[in-house]
Structure formats: C-alpha cells, structure tokens
Amino acid sequence: MARAADDIAALVLARARWSDAGVLAELTALEPLPEEEIFDAEDARSAAAWARAKLFVALGDVCATRKLRPAAKLLLGRASEGDPSEMMRGLRHVLEAIFNPAWDHLALVCVECMGSPHAGARMWAADELGRLEEPVGFPALLAALDDPRATVRSNVGTAIGRLCRAHPRLAAAAVTALRTRASRGDAGAFFEETARQIAEAHGVLS
C-alpha cells in the first residue's frame, strides 16, 4: 500500500497545474472501476483495475482540494462495487471535502446517484446518505430496498437505521418498509433485524 500511496501522490502532483476543466475531462473519460473480485484476479484485468483505481483516488484528491462540485456525481458513477484494499471508503471524505458545509447539496447528488445503472454508484451513494443523515435521502433509500445487488441493499439498510437515529419521526415508515421488504424473500432476515432494532430504539409498535 505504501507503493500505491506513492503512485497516487505522483499522479496528484502531475495534475497540479491542470485546469479544472482538464481534471474533470480526465475524470469523465475514466471507465468505472470493476467489482472488487476483479482486483484479486491476479491477471491483466487486476493490473488494469489497480491502475484505474489509483487514478480514481488521485483525481478525487485533486477535486477535493479544488472543491469541484461537478466531480461528485462523476466519482460516484465510477466507484467500485466493493472496497478493494479499503481504497473506496475514502470516497466519503472526498465528497464531504468538496461540499463542506453544504450537506444538503451533497445529499441531492447522492439521491440522484441512487438511480445510477452502476452498482458501485448506488452502493456508495447509499453509504453517504446514511452518514449525512439528511432526511431528503430517505425516500430514495426506501425505494432501494429492492435493489438487485446485495451490496447495495446492505448499505441501504444501514443508512436507513442511521437516518432513523437522527430523525426518529422516520422510524415508523422505515419499520413498515423494511418489514414489507423482508416478507418478499431474499435478505429478509437482515431487513427484519434492522426493522426490529429501529422499532425497539424508537418505540414503534409492531
């Protein structure tokens, strides 16, 4: 990881004199990062994925320093569905540095990305909505309980729990939605347990 950090730092330095438009153009041209399992493939696919991931992180650092708001949707749209070597979890700090302190604006970007065709975008947008604790994200999270990807659904459940802790008035609706989803099959135990925890914490009657 020390080598990766050095490579990322060199990529950041090489772009120090680039215009904002140039940085955003490179980010726009960057292909979305693959699923986490590709990074462990130990073949040409893995090498290409790691090279893109390093550039992704470097561009995120540059955009955070410059507070380039158009970069937020681009970064989420290229995030990996997973967290290879814990590289993706730093994305939240990049997004928050870009928007600080306009959390409501960042939440709206995340809501938009919950509709992305790229699972990585939905996964990390859900994670960030939970951390922001902005109620504007609640309807999008409820809608994502039926997301086809388990990685997304897991982050959605966690995010709903966080929103309910911050805004107890949302608890009753959350419990109803979680239990309705739990009754429909896969991941039912996870959603039922999340509903139980929210109900107990906020006195929601069964």
Where do the structural domains in the chain lie, given as residue ranges? 2-144
What does the pLDDT average to over 20-46? 95
Does 58 have pLDDT greater than 90?
yes
Provide mean pLDDT across the span 84-91.
94
Report the alpha-carbon distance of residue 10 to residue 37 in Å, rounded.
26
The half-sphere exposure of 59 on its side-chain side, counting CA atoms within 13 A, is 28
- Above 80 in pLDDT, residue 188? no
Question: Mean of the pLDDT values across residues 91-99?
Answer: 98
Which pair of structure tokens corresponds to residue 129?
Answer: 């909505």
Alpha-helical runs (H) found in 67-102: 70-76, 91-99
| pLDDT score of 204 | 86
Q: Is the pLDDT at 92 greater than 70, yes or no? A: yes
Its sign, for the CA torsion 172, 178, 183, 188, is negative
Residue 121: its pLDDT value, please? 98
CA within 13 Å, CB half, 91: 33
Whether the predicted pLDDT of 185 surpasses 80: no
Contacts of 12 (CB under 8 A, 6+ apart): 58, 61, 62
* pLDDT on residue 134: 97
Per residue in 140-160, pLDDT tens? 999 999 999 999 999 999 999
pLDDT at 82 over 70: yes
Q: Which residues contact 58 (CB under 8 A, 6 or more apart)?
A: 8, 9, 11, 12, 15
Q: How many alpha carbons lie under 13 Å from residue 61 in its C-beta half-sphere?
A: 18
Q: What are phi and psi of 24, to 5 degrees?
A: -65, -35
Q: Is the pLDDT of residue 135 over 70?
A: yes
At 115, is the secondary structure helix, strand, or coil? Answer: coil
Question: Above 70 in pLDDT, residue 187?
Answer: no
Structure tokens at 45: 């696919």
> Which pTM value belongs to this model?
0.94
Distance CA 30, CA 118 (A): 14
Taking the C-alpha atoms of 174, 145, 132 and 104 in order, what is their torsion angle to the nearest 10 degrees?
-90
Opening angle at CA 60, ends 109 and 7, nearest 5 = 160
Phi, psi of 203 (to 5 degrees): 65, 35
